[in-house]
Amino acid sequence: MTTMTEASVREFKMPDVGEGLTEAEILKWYVQPGDKVTDGQVVCEVETAKAAVELPIPYDGVVRELHFPEGTTVDVGTSIIAVDVSGGAAAPAPAEAAPEPEPEQPQGRQPVLVGYGVAQSLTKRRPRKGPQVTVQEAPLQAVQIELNGHGSAAVKERPLAKPPVRKLAKDLGVDLATVVPSGPDGIITREDVHAAVAAPKAPEPEVAAPAPAAAAPVATYDGARETRIPVKGVRKATAAAMVGSAFTAPHVTEFVTVDVTRTMKLVEELKQDKDMQGLRVNPLLLIAKALLVAIKRNPDVNASWDEANQEIVVKHYVNLGIAAATPRGLIVPNIKDAHDKTLPQLAESLGELVSTAREGKTSPAAMQGGTVTITNVGVFGVDTGTPILNPGESAILAVGAIKLQPWVHKGKVKPRQVTTLALSFDHRLVDGELGSKVLADVAAILEQPKRLITWA
Amino acid sequence: MTVESTAARKPRRSAGTKKSPSTKPELVQLLTPEGKRVKHAENAVYDKYVADITPEDLRGLYRDMVLTRRFDAEATSLQRQGELGLWASLLGQEAAQIGSGRALRDDDYVFPTYREHGVAWCRGVDPTNLLGMFRGVNNGGWDPNSNNFQLYTIVIGSQTLHATGYAMGVAKDGTDSAVIAYFGDGASSQGDVAEAFTFSAVYNAPVVFFCQNNQWAISEPTEKQTRVPLYQRAQGFGFPGVRVDGNDVLACLAVTKWALERARSGEGPTLVEAYTYRMGAHTTSDDPTRYRGDEERLAWEAKDPILRLRQYLESANHADEGFFAELEAESEALGRRVREAVRAMPDPDHFAIFENAYADGHALVDEERAQFAAYQASFADAEGGK
């Protein structure tokens, strides 16, 4: 990293965009060396333990250098970009692309204040004085020691124990640093302290060596340009399910774009409804209800293909799956017997399903036995997609972003809330006619939600 | 706190319980999201407070909202540049704040939370004064008594009690000033707010409780906050509650004027629930995409308070292109002025946080100060206190 010293060059330092955060990862640069920037213009996106945010540059001028590539974690207070503010200056120093990431060791403890934890990443730290090792030169062990102290170098981690246990240890004259913890996350329990008193001559190496940190999934870098991530857990399950589904069930996907203004209005009204108080009412709820009604009118779509027995199994119940992006990856829990539920019951089940999934607490049972699925890709801002069937099911409905768009309404072009629906189905047992009817029914209900009553 | 009935001041009007106020209409709205002026019989009691509003007044409200939003956006940007430690954006709540703020008289007294930048604007507190506290260079930034605008209160809901006590004092003074306390849907769950409701009702205090229900208490949705619409809570305490479209500046102005008049004429407290939406993050430290979906924000974008008044101004021919262009220039100038003023402020003294907690110092604080000093000095590029 070079630091500009010329009078006309300004350095923009990584600000603390949260409260008391120590570092942030550069996710994306929106500018390159040579680009003109104006005061207040967003130049990059960074992510902290709290949030992903955009940073506006406080200078007018021309970008001289980006000090770090995307993907680098940088300490608060470190210069990240240099801007030449001399105005009429000629073209800046040869536009040098953002430097490549240098392979460095992932970090130990990082402050996580809210959210889903911090991704392992490369780190650049604000240089420290004196004898401390700097990360750039440090071997792995040294890095861990430095980070354990959360900023101050070579400080030993304080043993974890609750205050009454600390007092007990003090009263009994036990140094907590010599106690082997047995509690969760390495917490020293009351019993551990008593055990330490009972066996004061515990083997030296065992008590002296801190328990090794649980092996975190660490990405290895083969060269500087690629990251190899072991396939396991949810990712492995997702991959297997997707391959299995995509290469056994011949997929057909159909699309329809629909004016959902009335549905959105109904959502607002339902929010105020006495029976819906305390429940999450959102468009997804009504889309789920619409799909349930469409299935009632076209029951054969709610079926599965039994290859072994050469039979089609039509289900007289609906276990409604909802694809959920969770901290652990994609999962599809389902609402059992959704066809039997009233709207408040469905809202309650949906709310529970989503919050359980977000907390990463979805049980395996909740993910089994689904008969049909909804995937709400609209939350990511996209219009639609061609979803792959959840294995064992014959239909999956993708819901796109609901956006205000010009739409011909009652003979005039009006801003209306419009979305695109996509239905993929297994063509072995669902013909184009049946699939189209299901999709058209869902669309018709969302366009005119009173059909929920007339068709129910 | 307990209420001793013997100590209760005799209400200036009737003693005992009052007739239960009507809960109609369910939402007072005078301007639709499309900017159409609506007149309903059930709104008549409020509508009369804006019946004589002039085009100039309307342009003034519009200007207030635009400038408030501009300065708020600049503050967010300054925080992202490291110039402020934190900022709580009011984006989306301009109508609730400007409408209620412009309903006040100079002698009325305001008890804000930390997000009332629009009300501060109406009270004549300069935007740059708000920012010093968020930069950490002062503990407030303005004299509460010069604008009758109390300092920002970070503690949730406590200002409703301060407002109630102040209002009880105003009543004792015998003036016809009124007091307004701002708070949010999250604060409605605080014990302080319930106590303030109780005391203000029993003492018939001239106070307006102005709740901006922006749907989210950081990441907690309103439906996890209450089982009944918030405005209906007032009934249980014995004073009226009204829900107003918080994105309709005209309705907010009218309803607040009505509530203030009740206070002035000895009819006691009123709860106004301004139904609105926090378009941005709770503060610059928050990431709302982690707990709420886009569809909700998009639905509220269609109800934008500024857009709605603009549509009305244009359709009623109350403002021309020249007005909007001039305002645009004024707004940019304000952004620039705020930016330059903040950048010219001194850097905060990192050691000031160790002062003022104990009058005579404290060994633990001394230890922390020393640790912090050592940490600061450990950086190779350490430059004094920065």
Residues B174-190: what's their mean pLDDT? Answer: 97
Residue finishing a domain among A150, A183, A198: A150
Residues B35-43: what's their mean pLDDT? Answer: 91
Residues B243-250: what's their mean pLDDT? Answer: 98
Number of structural domains found in chain A: 3
> Across all residues in chain A, what is the average pLDDT?
79
* Bridge partners (DSSP) listed for residue B274: B212, B244
Query: What region does A96 belong to: left with phi over 0, alpha with psi -120 to 50, or beta?
Result: beta
Asked if residue B83 has pLDDT above 60, the reply is yes
Based on the fold, state whether residues A357 and A428 are members of the same structural domain. Answer: yes
CB of B86 within 8 Å of a chain A CB? The answer is yes
CATH of the domain at A188: 4.10.320.10
Which residues of B belong to the active site? Answer: 278, 282, 291
Spatial separation of the C-alpha atoms in residues B125 and B128, rounded to whole Å? 8
> Across all residues in chain B, what is the average pLDDT?
91
Angle at A387 between CA A383 and CA A389, to 5 degrees: 160
* Bridge partners (DSSP) listed for residue A29: A44
- Tokens at residue A346, please? 């469905």
Residue B211 is predicted with a pLDDT of 98
Contacts B77 to A, Cβ<8 Å: 40, 56
Based on the fold, state whether residues A303 and A393 are members of the same structural domain. Answer: yes
For A11, B9, B157, B191, B359, the CA distances from B166, given in Å and listed in that order, are: 49, 14, 15, 18, 28
Based on the fold, state whether residues A46 and A170 are members of the same structural domain. Answer: no
Based on the fold, state whether residues A260 and A388 are members of the same structural domain. Answer: yes
- The distance of B29 to chain A (nearest Cα, Å) reads 16
Based on the fold, state whether residues A371 and A296 are members of the same structural domain. Answer: yes
The distance in angstroms from the start CA to the end CA of chain A is 67
Helix, strand or coil for residue A305? strand
Residue A205 is predicted with a pLDDT of 35
ipTM, 2 dp: 0.72
Counted residue by residue, chain B has a size of 386
CB of B223 within 8 Å of a chain A CB? The answer is yes
Based on the fold, state whether residues A74 and A167 are members of the same structural domain. Answer: no
Contacts B301 to A, Cβ<8 Å: 404
Q: Measured between CB atoms, which of A53, A277, A401 is closest to B294?
A: A401
DSSP conformation letters of A341-405: --HHHHHHHHHHHHHHHHTT---GGGGSS--EEEE-GGGGT-S---PPPPTT-SEEEEE---EEE
Based on the fold, state whether residues A38 and A179 are members of the same structural domain. Answer: no
Flag whether A213 is in a domain: no
Which has the closest alpha carbon to A61: A42, A79, A88?
A88
Q: Measured between CB atoms, which of B223, B290, B335 is closest to A115?
A: B290
B17 pLDDT tier (thresholds 50, 70, 90): very low
Angle of helix B55-80 versus helix B321-343 axis, rounded to 10: 30
- Tokens at residue B81, please? 């540049």
The answer to whether the beta carbons of residues B179 and B170 sit under 8 Å apart is yes
The pTM of this model reads 0.58
* CATH superfamily assigned to domain B19-343: Thiamin diphosphate (ThDP)-binding fold, Pyr/PP domains (3.40.50.970)
**Which backbone phi and psi does A84 adopt, to 5 degrees?**
-85, 120
Residues B356-375: what's their mean pLDDT? Answer: 90
With CA atoms as reference, the chain A residue closest to B292 would be A379
Residue A241 is predicted with a pLDDT of 83
Q: What percent of chain B has pLDDT over 90?
A: 79
Asked if residue A255 has pLDDT above 90, the reply is yes
Contacts B82 to A, Cβ<8 Å: 13-17
Residue A393 is predicted with a pLDDT of 93
Residue A222 is predicted with a pLDDT of 54
B383 pLDDT tier (thresholds 50, 70, 90): low
DSSP conformation letters of B252-281: HHHHHHHHHHHHHTT---EEEEEE----S-
Q: Which has the minimum average pLDDT: A160-164, A233-237, A281-285, B288-292?
A: A233-237
Helix, strand or coil for residue A230? coil
Flag whether A217 is in a domain: no
Residues B212-216: what's their mean pLDDT? Answer: 97
CB of B79 within 8 Å of a chain A CB? The answer is yes
Q: How far is CA B227 from the centre of its chain?
A: 24
**Which backbone phi and psi does B197 adopt, to 5 degrees?**
-60, -45
Asked if residue B4 has pLDDT above 60, the reply is no
Q: Measured between CB atoms, which of B85, B285, B375 is closest to A151?
A: B375
With CA atoms as reference, the chain B residue closest to A114 would be B286
Place of tokens 């009218």: B254
Over the stretch A39-55, which tens digit does the pLDDT of each residue have? 999 999 998 776 778 89
Over the stretch A86-100, which tens digit does the pLDDT of each residue have? 875 444 444 444 454
Residue to test with chain A: of B295, B332, B340, most A Cβ within 10 A: B295
Asked if residue B21 has pLDDT above 80, the reply is no
Residue A144 is predicted with a pLDDT of 33
Residue A224 is predicted with a pLDDT of 59
Q: Flag if A127 and B77 touch (Cβ within 8 Å).
A: no
Q: Which has the minimum average pLDDT: A115-129, A280-294, B220-234?
A: A115-129
Q: Which has the minimum average pLDDT: A271-280, B46-55, B116-125?
A: A271-280
DSSP conformation letters of A131-158: TPPPTTT--HHHHHHHHHTTTSTTPPPP
Residue B148 is predicted with a pLDDT of 97
Flag whether A216 is in a domain: no
CATH of the domain at A329: 3.30.559.10
Cβ neighbours of residue B147 under 8 Å, at least 6 residues apart?
B123, B124, B125
Angle at A100 between CA A94 and CA A106, to 5 degrees: 150
Over the stretch A5-25, which tens digit does the pLDDT of each residue have? 578 899 999 988 877 778 888
Flag whether A220 is in a domain: no
Asked if residue B9 has pLDDT above 90, the reply is no
Flag whether A214 is in a domain: no
Helix, strand or coil for residue B340? helix
Residue to test with chain B: of A1, A4, A10, A17, most B Cβ within 10 A: A17
Based on the fold, state whether residues A203 and A252 are members of the same structural domain. Answer: no
Angle of helix B127-135 versus helix B321-343 axis, rounded to 10: 40
Based on the fold, state whether residues A371 and A255 are members of the same structural domain. Answer: yes
Q: Flag if A53 and B287 touch (Cβ within 8 Å).
A: yes
- Tokens at residue A87, please? 């105005």
Q: Which has the minimum average pLDDT: A7-21, A388-402, A417-431, B257-271?
A: A7-21
Asked if residue A113 has pLDDT above 60, the reply is no
- Residue-number span of the structural domain to which A169 is assigned: 160-208
Asked if residue A84 has pLDDT above 80, the reply is yes
Helix, strand or coil for residue B342? helix
For A64, A77, A440, the CA distances from A126, given in Å and listed in that order, are: 21, 7, 59
Spatial separation of the C-alpha atoms in residues B332 and B335, rounded to whole Å? 5
Residue B24 is predicted with a pLDDT of 67
Flag whether A204 is in a domain: yes
Find the largest Cα–Cα distance for chain B. Answer: 72
**Which backbone phi and psi does A300 adopt, to 5 degrees?**
-70, -15
Residue B7 is predicted with a pLDDT of 40
Q: Measured between CB atoms, which of A127, A271, A402 is closest to B295?
A: A402
Q: Flag if A129 and B382 touch (Cβ within 8 Å).
A: yes
Query: What is the domain partition of chain B in residue ranges?
Result: 19-343, 349-386
Task: List, in sequence order, the alpha helices (H) in chain B.
Answer: 44-47, 55-80, 94-101, 117-122, 127-135, 144-147, 158-173, 191-202, 233-237, 249-264, 294-301, 305-315, 321-343, 363-377
Residue B58 is predicted with a pLDDT of 97
Spatial separation of the C-alpha atoms in residues A322 and A352, rounded to whole Å? 12
Asked if residue A204 has pLDDT above 50, the reply is no
Spatial separation of the C-alpha atoms in residues A388 and A423, rounded to whole Å? 10
A170 pLDDT tier (thresholds 50, 70, 90): confident
A145 pLDDT tier (thresholds 50, 70, 90): very low
A199 pLDDT tier (thresholds 50, 70, 90): low
Residues B213-241: what's their mean pLDDT? Answer: 95
CB of B218 within 8 Å of a chain A CB? The answer is no
